[in-house]
Structure 1
Amino acid sequence: MIRTKLFGALGLLAVSFAVAGTALSVGGKQPDNATKEQSKAADPHMSHFMDCAKECDDCARICNMCAAHCTKMVAEGKKEHLETVRTCIDCATLCQSASAIVIKNGPFSDLICTACAEACKRCGDACEKHAEHDAIMKQCAAECRKCEKMCRVMMKHTIKGDK
């Protein structure tokens, strides 16, 4: 009896997620200029939040790719890449968190942008050491620099920065 209710509830939950996912995928495209203008009218800082969240997402994606690349190199015996595996993973995690908080103008936007900017600086520095001979690490360093800059700009538009 309990098992039947549990599986029934899980099935209902799965259907709910599937319906929600379909709705999001239908309307879940990137905001166009009209949407950005509407958001800007509601909150003049919103376009900055959207741009920062996008840059953080982009950086997280590249850092995850670089972490996988460096993991492969460590497996091949290039132990000097262990540091970049770890920095890229941590940077990606912070960037994903920053994106999630910043897009909704969360009360800790200033804190996460500060942490994200510093993580991107450190990760960019670590990847830059190998960038001359490795295109993926060069790309990661460049993306980290862009995200660091965007997060530092974003700090001026956060709740704390408005006061």
Structure 2
Amino acid sequence: MNHTKLLGVLGLLAVSFAVAGTAVAIGGKPPVETPATTPTVAEDRAVDPKMSQFMDCAKACDDCARVCNLCAAHCTKMAVDGQKEHLTTVRTCADCASICTSASAIVIKSGPFSDLICTACAEACKRCGDGCEKHADHDPIMKQCMDECRKCEKACRIMMKNTIKPEK
């Protein structure tokens, strides 16, 4: 690139920054929210108290997904080591983690399908928790998975009760 073109590009950039700065200075808004202007969780809850239920449910789903993924990896190792009874829990934990991840993503936005995903998530967590419960007395990771599944199931059932379902 020759010097003339380089100076032209730099001049264009300088003008762009000047125009953007002038727009902000005369009352325009910056194009991106800054951390100071982004609403906090507490502000969201204060504006819409129902949001608290959605956020609590989404957190329970996130926590459960993380532990189910951990448990699926743990069960995979045990199955590879010859404990074939864990082939089922590998699959239930992995599927439960996927459903919980989807539920969290939908519920945190107060999505229109929150009731549907919470129904599926509660049932998946019940089944996964039941599967892990069989090994919970001798395996701390599976006990942790069972406990998180029970918490998530409860949060989703509460969410289902409080979510308005669309009329048919």
> TM-score normalised by the shorter chain: which range applies?
0.7 to 0.9
The alignment of Structure 1 onto Structure 2 pairs a total of residues equal to 133
Unaligned runs of 5+ in 1: 1-22, 28-33
After TM superposition, give the deviation of residue 143 of structure 1 in Å: 0.6
Aligned-residue sequence identity (percent) comes to 73
Query: Does the aligned pair in 2 maintain the 1:62–1:143 contact within 8 Å?
Result: yes
Q: Which structure has the larger Rg?
A: 2
Aligned partner (choices 75, 82, 89) of residue 70 of structure 1: 75
Determine whether 1:144 maps to 2:149: yes
For 1:108 and 1:79, locate their aligned partners in 2 and report how far apart those are by CA, in whole Å.
Answer: 37
Relative to the length of structure 2, the TM-score reads: 0.74
**Cα deviation, residue 94, structure 1:** 0.3
Query: Runs of 4 or more off by more than 4 Å in structure 1?
Result: none
1:39-69 CA distance string (max 9 Å, x none): 1333221011011101100000000000000
- Matched-pair contact (CA < 8 Å) for 1:52–1:151: yes
Q: TM-score, normalised by structure 1?
A: 0.76
1:53 corresponds to 2:53: no
Q: How does 1:17-28 map to 2 (within 5 A)?
A: none
Contact 1:123 1:144 in 2 (8 A): yes
Letter of the 2:155 partner, please give it: M
The 1-side partners of 2:150 and 2:74 are apart by: 19
Give RMSD over aligned pairs: 2.2
CA distance in 2, matches of 1:112, 1:66: 22
